[in-house]
Chain A
Amino acid sequence: MKRRQFLQQAIPAAVIPSVLNGFSARVLGDHPMLNALLNTYVESDKVLVIIQLNGGNDGLNMVIPMDQYGNYYKARTNIAIPENKVLKLSGTNAVGLHPSMTGLQSLYNSGKLRLVQAVGYPNPNFSHFRATDIWMSASNSNEQVNSGWAGRYLSDQYPNYPNGYPNAAMTDPLGIQIGSTASLTFQGPSVNMGVSISNINSFYNLINGIQEPAPPTPAGNALQYVRLVARQANQYAGRISAAAASVTAQGTYPTGNTLADQLKIVARLVKGGLKTRVYMVSMGGFDNHALQTNTTDTTTGTHATLMQRLSDAIQAFQNDLKGMGIEDRVLGMTFSEFGRRVRSNASVGTDHGAAAPLFIFGSKVNPGITGVNPTISANPAVGDNVPMQYDFRSVYATILENWFCVDKVSLETIMLRNYQQLGLCINPSCDTVNAINDPRNAGINLITNYPNPFTQTTMLNYTTNGGHTLIQIMDASGRVVAVPLDREQLAGRYQLFFDGGELPTGVYYIRLQNGAVQQVKPMLKVR
């Protein structure tokens, strides 16, 4: 429900007239001042859970391009998942999952998982730090933004936080981060909008009133005193404890799985009635430059364990939400700061790469797959990356618009730019419900080029459904080297002359984006 409607219905007349001279709330709902006051706040019981995979997850071994298995195997023989071990997804033979992801396979097949292929951004950065900051701030690659995308959203919804919070309308933390501290994701324009539960032990201590050990010394005694006051002063501690305490039975979660531990807490807090909208959890260990798999059996080893933990944790979480009857309120997404290279290295690992697939999960996802497998060339160079099909900010923008019902104007403020909508999830309360783009478009060529390979120039042939149409040329590392087209067009078929004379020879990718639709095609420049 929009906040305006909410206020009109929920705020008793006695509250508003004292400020607004006795006009009825309905009339005043159209008063410009009240409109400004009401801003863009949208009443919502929807929750987003963000799972951060620290270190750069190897997307090509998580989602295996079965339609190009030969090239996949050739590019990474020492870590490739055997074809017959890849988990199949119903309705497609082109895409399969890592063998240890039976949980996510089952979620996919029951319509609670959406896979978004090759998510990245133009001109990828290969530093963990910088790439993480880009993902969290939703900035351009060459741009410094010191606030986070979720922080900007929460700041838009709850202006002036923390002044006047908690209050009757918002009793709870706006965002909760578990497992790490004060993430950039939650950083608002001026203050951090999130509350950190810095580790799970301290969370349990918080809800159970346990004090961490302090030495039996005068200093330890003073320390315990300050900690005691700190707990009493934590304005949200009581609410979090009460919410957690009110949930006495939960589903079964795997043990020895820190992500599962964190998601179990999230489920408990959501069920316990916290109005918190965004939760952030994380798991680490994805930076596998060496020994990513066991050499004897590539379906086992470090990455396999991570895949299993991720998959098991999400499945257990989803089952728990269902069991507690709150399944329809929660949407989840995974992300990692980057994927890995197409080719594996000699130490049975993979190096920092670019785009990678991510998952959206929940009972209200649009099930299926967004995008197609990346094209794997027959002989990829060491530095070759998976080119981006979808900008990660399109994923955020879609969730904000279609899950949290953020209007277009606010959306552009929060996301800093206008991004493509991907139709990933369904919340009927929102005005905008974007249709699912089904751009697997097997056999449909939205964009092609001729000649290919080319030496100097080539002709781009493309189809647009009308509206904003964008064509980008990316090199093998993911860098955008040219933008031949970026404007509004009428629907139809067009031709565009592209001069690549200045470019070095090698593999390039043409990316067409038109509304919710896009397609990425390789082309080769030769001498």
Chain B
Amino acid sequence: MDRRAFLKGGAVTAEKKASPANMMRTNTGIRPYSGAWTKNEVMHLLKRTLFGASMADIRYFSGKTMQEAVDELLNPTAPLPTPPQKEYDVTGAATPDNDVANGATWVNSVNNDGAIQGRRRASLKKWWIGCMLQQDRSIREKMTLFWHNHFAVETVDVGQANLLYKYVNLLRTQSLGNFKQLVRAITLDPAMLYYLNGRLNTATAPDENYSRELQELFTLGKDNNPNYTEADVKAAARILTGWRVDVNIASFPAYFTASRHDAGNKTFSSFYNNKVVTGRNTATAGEIELDELLNMIFSKSTEVSRFMVTKLYRFFVYHEIDAATEANVIEPLALILRNNNWEIKPVLATLLKSEHFYDVLNQGCIIKAPLDHAIGMCREWNVVFPQAVSEFSDAYGMWNYIMTIASNHQQNIGDPPSVSGWPAYYQVPQFDELWINTDTLPKRNQFSDLMIGNGYTRNGKKIVIDAIAYAKTLQNPGNPNLLIEELMDHLFRIPISQQTKDQLKKDFLLTGQAQDYYWTDAWNAYLASPATTALFNTVNTRLRGLFKYCMNLAEYQLM
């Protein structure tokens, strides 16, 4: 598939300027962090590894040591999400899936009707958003997104929703597993066989699409010198011939057809030490030759490990990697990946427990991706969604809204712009600045304005930020200074000046008055009589004004 240009339409990003010469950088490395473990560090860890940090999450992890917190995040115990449900109607389908009850999952139901598949794809995407919104206290959902960006497919191209569910499930179940095994699994993943044409790759009509991306995007990258050659792409493509997908049985398997496989010997370039993979024509030829191919690629262990560690680093820490970071972080982590036989967890554990990760210079420097912004907003403000089980239809409707919002902000889950994933995760030199332009920034603000204002109403249900309920989760909401302090600490990863805090307190909570007790009195009056509309409105309008303003600040876009 051709890679498409990311930016469509007339939105303008500001021009990337080289990082200012005076910008401070750090020399810290992967030594275990031994500094203070305060709310600040907890929030840094959570905002990077979850979608937003709720007050409850922050309190929970504050009660643990840093080591315990990271270990818990890396070892999810919660069961996997239940599979997506049939929440769609079947109007217009020539072959409606009447065998699937409303509310039951469709993932094991064979149905090749285009209308049904379209609705299942939509159902999958909504469900995926629901998984993020309801995530457990682990890094699993964030890693699932990481792998989706790394091993990108586009649902609109794959078409078959049942294959797409298997793909998402693979990423989620192996999100903290072994990288090499994951590459093998994704190579034979039915959705990927559709997306990069593996199922059409035969001895007589070889298709190099997957073979190229396997090396260029999934394992080695294109920046090595020397690197794999065009001949290597062709040779690997021949190894990968013969795989197909059966969409007519409920397990939707990939399978190998020896007669479609290129049984000749495949010879690789000097980059791979002129390796020859002997051609085979047996029923197991596909798997045997694939293993040889992957062993050969992973024998370039330095290149592969650096490539993967760099990608993880950019996703979780910062996009710019200078010489010190290269030497003190990337290289040692790459060694850990190699020494642990491609297990991902030891790398993440070392990184997330390192003094480099908690370095103050690495805090607050990532611009939120649209999913971080939209899902994080819902989670941090404790937005209440319809019950996923008893009101599943309404829940899917709301998840669909959040999906649409993130999509309008240029991150459409399930449909990254190309096989390379979202450019903000890789595109030199702008990286995450690409998320923010004159089109998307006002849209982000409009979304937060809506959520703190009237909320989004659909089918008689509403999702909205409950300003008072949020304030009640703070330690001392009756004290305007402490309220502002805790709010700023929660929302922003970059310090806000005392002058600004005082101004916001005065403008919003005190309505221009000088004495703090006016807010305290108003809050206490509301607490004493919460059903009195006037008392409720008095505090609610002030809190909403403050929260709205805060979410419109540039600082809110950082994490």
Contacts and interface: CB of A to CB of B under 8 A. Distances in A.
Given A228-B14, A285-B514, A220 B494 contact: yes
A239 to B, nearest CB: 16
B118 to A, nearest CB: 31
A219 interface: yes
Interface in A211-263: 215-223, 225-230, 232-233
A132 B534 CA distance: 13
Interface string B500-523: 000100111001111100100110
A54 B493 contact: no
A179 to B, nearest CB: 9
Contacts, number: 127
Contacts of B533: 144
Interface string B423-447: 0000000001100111101100000
Interface in A170-188: 180-182, 184
B538 A146 contact: no
A221 B19 CA distance: 7
B452 to A, nearest CB: 11
B494 A219 contact: yes
Interface string A187-226: 0001000000011000000000000000111111111011
B13 interface: yes
A282 interface: yes
Contact of B512 (A222, A223, A233, A282): A282
A81 B350 CA distance: 74
Given A144-B533, A181-B507, A221 B557 contact: no
Given A221-B20, A233-B441, 7 more contacts: A133-B537, A216-B20, A218-B361, A221-B23, A222-B557, A229-B438, A284-B506
Contacts of A223: 494, 554-555, 558
Contacts of B548: 182
Contacts of A332: none
A127 B517 CA distance: 11
Nearest to B508: A181
A52 B511 CA distance: 11
25 contacts: A54-B513, A127-B538, A128-B518, A129-B542, A133-B537, A180-B512, A182-B549, A215-B494, A216-B24, A217-B23, A218-B320, A219-B361, A219-B365, A222-B364, A222-B366, A225-B436, A226-B436, A227-B554, A228-B14, A229-B441, A233-B441, A282-B512, A284-B512, A284-B513, A284-B514
A52 B558 contact: no
B466 to A, nearest CB: 16
Contacts of A54: 511-513
Interface of B: 12-14, 19-20, 22-25, 318, 320, 360-367, 432-433, 436-439, 441-442, 454, 493-495, 503, 506-508, 511-515, 518, 521-522, 533-534, 537-538, 541-542, 545, 548-549, 554-555, 557-558
Contacts of A232: 12, 14, 438
A181 B549 contact: yes
Contact of A146 (B14, B511, B537): B537
A129 B558 CA distance: 33
Contacts of B537: 133, 144, 146
A287 interface: yes
Contacts of B514: 55, 284-285, 287
A128 B12 contact: no
A144 B532 CA distance: 11
Contact of B554 (A133, A144, A146, A230): A230
A287 to B, nearest CB: 6
A493 interface: no
Given A181-B545, A230-B554, A287-B514, A222 B14 contact: no
A223 B557 CA distance: 8
A199 B13 CA distance: 26
B23 A216 contact: yes
Contacts of B442: 233
Nearest to A56: B513
Contact of B437 (A128, A220, A229): A229
Contacts of B437: 229, 233
A284 B506 CA distance: 10
The 5 closest A-B pairs by CB, nearest first: A54-B512, A218-B365, A219-B364, A226-B554, A233-B438
A233 B432 CA distance: 18
A225 B558 CA distance: 11
Contacts of A287: 513-515
Contacts of A128: 511, 513, 518
A229 to B, nearest CB: 5
Interface string A103-139: 0000000000000000000000001111011000000
Nearest to B431: A222
B557 A217 contact: no
* Residue among A128, A184, A228, A282 facing the most chain B CB atoms (10 A cut-off): A128
Contacts of A228: 14
A221 B25 CA distance: 12
B432 to A, nearest CB: 8
A50 to B, nearest CB: 13
A221 B23 CA distance: 8
Contacts of A182: 545, 548-549
A218 B366 CA distance: 9
B316 to A, nearest CB: 14
A229 B430 CA distance: 13
A282 B503 CA distance: 14
Contacts of B23: 216-218, 220-221
B101 to A, nearest CB: 41
A178 to B, nearest CB: 12
Given A54-B513, A284-B513, A216 B494 contact: no
A55 B432 CA distance: 45
B522 A127 contact: yes
Nearest to A283: B512
Given A54-B513, A216-B22, A219-B558, A225 B538 contact: no
B443 to A, nearest CB: 10
A423 to B, nearest CB: 31
A452 to B, nearest CB: 36
Nearest to A182: B545
A133 B538 CA distance: 8
A236 to B, nearest CB: 12
Nearest to A282: B512
Nearest to B518: A128
Contact of A217 (B365, B511, B515, B538): B365
* Residue among A55, A132, A190 facing the most chain B CB atoms (10 A cut-off): A55
A190 B454 contact: yes
* Residue among B503, B507, B508, B518 facing the most chain A CB atoms (10 A cut-off): B507
Given A54-B512, A217-B361, A287-B514, A129 B545 contact: no
B538 A130 contact: yes
A285 B515 CA distance: 10
Contacts of A221: 19-20, 23, 365
B363 A219 contact: yes
B539 to A, nearest CB: 8
Contacts of A217: 23-24, 360-361, 365
Nearest to B552: A230
A199 B503 contact: yes
A57 to B, nearest CB: 12
B534 A218 contact: no
B436 A133 contact: no
Contacts of A226: 367, 436, 441, 554, 557-558
Contact of B493 (A127, A130, A146, A219): A219
* Residue among B436, B511, B522 facing the most chain A CB atoms (10 A cut-off): B511
B249 to A, nearest CB: 49
A181 B439 CA distance: 24
Given A217-B365, A222-B365, A55 B513 contact: yes
A242 to B, nearest CB: 18
B541 A218 contact: no
Contacts of B320: 218
Interface in A138-165: 142, 144, 146
